[in-house]
Structure 1
Amino acid sequence: MGVAAAPSGPLSESDRTGPGRAHWLRVARETADDLATDAVAREQAGKAPLDEVSRLREAGLLTLLIPAESAGGGADWPTAYAVVREIAAADGAIGQLLGSHYFLSWTALFLTEPSRAARLERQYAAEQWCWGGGLARQESPLTLARARGGHVLDGRQYYPTGVLVADRLTVRAVRADTGEPLAVVVDPAHHGVGIDGDADTFGQRLAAGGSVEFDAVPVAADDVLGSLSWDEDMMSPLAALASPVGRLLSVQLRLGMAEGVLAEAREYSRAGHSPWHPARPVGPPQDPQVLAAYGELTVLTRSASALTDQALEAVHGGLARGEDLTYDEYADISVLVAMAEAASSRAAQESTARALDIVGTRSASSRLGFDRFWRNARTHTLYEPVTHRLRDVGDYFLNGAHPPFVLPG
């Protein structure tokens, strides 16, 4: 069995009429330029990114995926992916924060029944919520038990993205009676919710990660969104697309980091700095080692980008097929995303590490802040390792096995 090919033909148009892709890409670039001006100082300060979220909100990026008729941006997933990549090139942590926000808010609307989704969407758009949390499987899961008038949520979730600034949390919990995993939405202002900024990572410090303690937190029936149980007899192929949709956000984040560090290193090199020949006069860099390094990293990043474009078209095509999507088609899409995950992870790690060699000893300067790219990329790839995804690709290629349903943290 061969590896999946991307669907042929143009992407289907979104039925969410909004300002258009060009508008949102321009807004993303302007926001990224704004974030880049003080990226080093903000990262070194390591404060909760309340100001950064305000910048995203004022730019209209928090409601990008909400239909225009509901006072949102009216954009589609290809546009959202491009926005995350643009922001990540300037600030990887804010790129992660925004990507997680898109996935968690979309999942909340995607999994719940239509009338509840419509009410939730209107409130989200009106109040421009920032979403945090995570739906990945945990060794010690949150538990959801039945109680009078609904349910109660107990347990601790470790280091989900965005919780320090979130207006709403989307989390994974298991039913106390059956063990079924469910997606649940929680207001972090509820009594019994305790948020601790204890992540203390060496990178992605502005992704607003931390731990959340739930102590008998009341959960209304409407706030139990849907099942996360992976069973081809229970979960439709369309619902299963939540996995590659979310994982492709991490791919865009990694590519943004790789492109961001190369762009910044290029500007530094063009100023005439050479790591191997400090006395070289200012002018266009001609050092063969520098040119070869830039060439290799450009090929690596562009190759990952091309594979990601195929995965993006496949995901968008799967969403467009809706209920007609088959499990075999879902498997093809998921494997293609896994391939993009592996390629983008290598591109991010190689580019952010070797850019330090290209810049040379000056890259050790905290004032220049080149180290933040490596620390951000390395932290993200530690939390999102690709070893299992490579195994899934191999099992699919060799045995035709459908990949498992895996959600990002």
Structure 2
Amino acid sequence: MRTPKKSAIRPTSGPSDRPADRPADRPADRPADRLADDELWDRVTRELADDLAADAPARDRAGKAPFDEVARLREAGLPALLTPPGASRRGADWKAACAVIREISAADGSIGELLAHHYGLSWTARFFSRGGKAPGAPAAFEDRTAQKRWLLAGGVEPSRTDGGEPGLTLTPADGGYVLEGRRSFASGVTVADRLVVGARCTGTGELLVVLVDPAHPAVFTDAGTDRLGQRLAGAGTVTFDQVRVAARDVLGALPRDEHAVAPFTALAPLALRLLLVHVVLGIAEGALAEARDVSRAAQAVPPPADPRTDADTEAYPMGCGEDPYLLLAYGELATAAHAAAAVVERATDALARGLLAEQALGAEERADIAVLVAAAEAVTGGAAVRITTRILELVDTVQAAPSTDGGPGFDRFWRNARTLTAQSSPAHRLRDIGDHYLHGTHPRLTLRA
């Protein structure tokens, strides 16, 4: 398995070794300390991505809980980095966090998903802090998360009880609550420091968002096994058996009536969806870049001489890299990656502006953001599946024989992309986009991802 170079985790690179589809964003009026932070984050993230890529196939085959990978994240400082910036902390802004997730996902999609869920959940108190009635609550939660370097996992959207899970309930008791129930989560619960979960209050019917320590003796976690892809994302099912939750660990409440959801609160599922789009895009870019390295290595091996057609060989000298069909294939796949990146960047910019607006965000602006996120999902999902599928064929044509250690593991890119893209229906997203474009209809305000 190769050791990735810093130009090897994107489809293309320019003279400065920065991909053409990710131009540097360095406004002249950005503070000098932010410029320094950005350079540091870029370097740290790239080094960690190279480290993860070096043994990604072996770790994927082993399929163990990602304790070692989380230790690498902590050593790099990324859990605290991906905390919303505030007066008492120096976290990443939205676009920087998305860039980190995309970079890590190119090396290891599972770990990129871990970070995506962590970052989305780190905004929980801002999204659901009871309409801003307790302005100190979000800052307090974010400070605790940053200072203690917690890795967050869980989910706050209403539980889908039609799958056999009864959902989670909170019963008022002694100034706090008792949490009970069982629920499955897609990422992080086997290695998280804290769980952020939504549960229905039995006394008021409110859906409250609470913070829980998974090390509590009444919390039981069963790791997800036999997954097609994202095997190292730390998925699992968590059972809460009468777990005490203090009042200070209630981070907010979801509106009972989804029609009454504030536009800013309705950004919560869009934020998670777009973070996962960055994971999918990173997986596609990582697959394309690694396949490119294999093809480049094949070019260095001269084609065998054909004694029967020496003249023809001299007239038409063609190595692997000069095969017009191979060049055409890479051209199509690189174009698909660039197109997806452009759509994703536009959605990322729009959501960044929406997050900055907070409670001042209007319904029209939120609708525009929802349409852009849906477009990013549709375009990137299709591109990622197409790229990772075609890569398996391209790599097979240039490798003389499989390696004895299990090979470079290109199938993991396809499996990871399929696992993530199967979670949403492209038809539903495209229908919302078409209705908005044709009739100006706003996508429904919902708290489901």
TM-score scaled to structure 1, two decimals? 0.88
Determine the structure 2 residue equivalent to 1:288.
324
CA drift of 1:73 comes to 4.2
Distance 2:28 2:260 in 1: 29
2:145 matched to 1:124? Answer: yes
Determine the structure 1 residue equivalent to 2:182.
156
Determine the structure 1 residue equivalent to 2:262.
236
Deviations 1:97-156 (Å, cap 9, x if unpaired)? 111111112224543333233332232222211111123433222122222321111211
Determine the structure 2 residue equivalent to 1:381.
421
Deviations 1:213-240 (Å, cap 9, x if unpaired)? 1112112222222222375764322222
2:117 alignment partner AA: S
Shift in alpha-carbon separation, 1:185–1:387, aligned structure 2, 3 A: farther
**CA contact under 8 A between 1:202 and 1:375: conserved in structure 2?**
yes
Deviations 1:134-185 (Å, cap 9, x if unpaired)? 2343322212222232111121111331001000001122223454333221
| The 10-residue stretch of structure 1 (18-27 or 83-92) with the greater mean CA deviation from structure 2 | 18-27
Determine the structure 2 residue equivalent to 1:173.
199
RMSD: 2.9
| The 10-residue stretch of structure 1 (362-371 or 233-242) with the greater mean CA deviation from structure 2 | 362-371
- Name which of 240, 252, 263 aligns with 1:226: 252
Shift in alpha-carbon separation, 1:304–1:332, aligned structure 2, 3 A: same
**CA contact under 8 A between 2:378 and 2:429: conserved in structure 1?**
yes
Other structure's SS at 1:239 match? coil
Determine the structure 1 residue equivalent to 2:432.
392
| The 10-residue stretch of structure 1 (389-398 or 299-308) with the greater mean CA deviation from structure 2 | 389-398
Shift in alpha-carbon separation, 1:45–1:325, aligned structure 2, 3 A: same
- Name which of 238, 246, 253 aligns with 2:279: 253
Shift in alpha-carbon separation, 1:324–1:220, aligned structure 2, 3 A: same
- Name which of 45, 65, 76 aligns with 1:28: 45
Deviations 1:39-67 (Å, cap 9, x if unpaired)? 11111111111111111111111111336
Distance 2:154 2:66 in 1: 15
Distance 1:14 1:174 in 2: 44
Distance 1:310 1:346 in 2: 18
Distance 1:107 1:329 in 2: 20
Q: Percent identity?
A: 51
Output aligned runs, 1:216-365, within 5 Å: 216-229=242-255, 231=257, 234-272=260-298, 285-360=321-396, 362=399
Distance 1:115 1:194 in 2: 32
Distance 1:12 1:389 in 2: 37
Give the greater-gyration-radius structure (CA). Answer: 2
Shift in alpha-carbon separation, 1:407–1:32, aligned structure 2, 3 A: farther
1:329 alignment partner AA: E
Distance 1:396 1:231 in 2: 23
| The 10-residue stretch of structure 1 (224-233 or 152-161) with the greater mean CA deviation from structure 2 | 224-233
Shift in alpha-carbon separation, 1:408–1:26, aligned structure 2, 3 A: farther
- Name which of 236, 239, 243 aligns with 1:210: 236
Shift in alpha-carbon separation, 1:285–1:332, aligned structure 2, 3 A: same
2:353 alignment partner AA: G
Distance 2:224 2:339 in 1: 37
Distance 2:251 2:410 in 1: 42
Distance 1:73 1:65 in 2: 10
Shift in alpha-carbon separation, 1:398–1:36, aligned structure 2, 3 A: same
Shift in alpha-carbon separation, 1:294–1:179, aligned structure 2, 3 A: farther
CA drift of 1:286 comes to 1.4
Shift in alpha-carbon separation, 1:119–1:210, aligned structure 2, 3 A: same
Shift in alpha-carbon separation, 1:291–1:79, aligned structure 2, 3 A: same
Shift in alpha-carbon separation, 1:356–1:109, aligned structure 2, 3 A: same
Q: Which runs of 5+ in 2 are unaligned?
A: 1-26, 162-166, 307-316
Deviations 1:178-221 (Å, cap 9, x if unpaired)? 54333221111223211001343121011011100111211222
**CA contact under 8 A between 2:264 and 2:358: conserved in structure 1?**
yes
**CA contact under 8 A between 1:246 and 1:408: conserved in structure 2?**
no
| The 10-residue stretch of structure 1 (206-215 or 17-26) with the greater mean CA deviation from structure 2 | 17-26
Other structure's SS at 2:264 match? helix
- Name which of 362, 367, 373 aligns with 2:407: 367
Shift in alpha-carbon separation, 1:174–1:292, aligned structure 2, 3 A: same
Shift in alpha-carbon separation, 1:298–1:406, aligned structure 2, 3 A: farther
Other structure's SS at 2:322 match? coil
Determine the structure 1 residue equivalent to 2:111.
94
1:165 alignment partner AA: V
Other structure's SS at 2:182 match? strand
Distance 2:388 2:233 in 1: 18
Shift in alpha-carbon separation, 1:16–1:191, aligned structure 2, 3 A: farther
CA drift of 1:325 comes to 1.6
Distance 2:124 2:351 in 1: 15
| The 10-residue stretch of structure 1 (127-136 or 259-268) with the greater mean CA deviation from structure 2 | 127-136
**CA contact under 8 A between 1:11 and 1:313: conserved in structure 2?**
no
**CA contact under 8 A between 1:132 and 1:161: conserved in structure 2?**
yes
2:275 alignment partner AA: L
Determine the structure 2 residue equivalent to 1:196.
222
2:146 matched to 1:133? Answer: no
Distance 1:260 1:114 in 2: 41
Equivalent pairs counted in the alignment come to 398
Q: Which runs of 5+ in 1 are unaligned?
A: 1-9
Determine the structure 2 residue equivalent to 1:182.
208
2:435 alignment partner AA: D
Shift in alpha-carbon separation, 1:250–1:385, aligned structure 2, 3 A: farther
| The 10-residue stretch of structure 1 (76-85 or 320-329) with the greater mean CA deviation from structure 2 | 320-329
1:119 alignment partner AA: A
2:182 alignment partner AA: R
